[in-house]
Amino acid sequence: MFENSQALAFLDIHPISLGHTVVIPKSHASTVIDLPEDQVEDVFMAVKKVTFMLAKTLGAENFTIGINHGRMLGHPDIDHLHIHVIPRFEGDGGKDIHSVVSNPPDEDVAETKERIIKANG
């Protein structure tokens, strides 16, 4: 459905919404971290282009865009970075990105921030 020098986009074979599309890098990368820096722009430009195409064609004004980074629970056989572009429609029954996981941390945000800064300082 869309292709550029570094990415390929196609309709999901198990769509959860009309036009649900998956964007993948052409070269293998399991995670965003593994994606070579010189490919990041083209992959995310493909996400932008696909979102525009779906908005124009389907009239969707809202989208949920999510990255599956590495092997996902329930899909251990998919070890390739893929970005879902999911058109959202009024009354679709979907929720926002916060509904994906329900595992609130025991530490507060300031403590987590400090750990991240200390580990990467």
Q: What is the pLDDT of residues 32-50, one digit of tens each?
A: 999 999 999 999 999 999 9
CA gap 85, 24 in Å, rounded: 11
Radius of gyration of the chain (CA): 16
- The pLDDT confidence band at residue 73, using thresholds 50, 70 and 90, is low
pLDDT bin (cut points 50, 70, 90) of residue 71 is low
pLDDT at 75: 59
Q: Domain limits of the chain? A: 2-120
DSSP 8-state class, residue 110: H
Q: Hey, which residues are catalytic here?
A: 82
Class of the domain covering 2-120: alpha beta
Per-residue pLDDT at 6: 96
Q: Model confidence at 76, in pLDDT bands (50, 70, 90)?
A: low
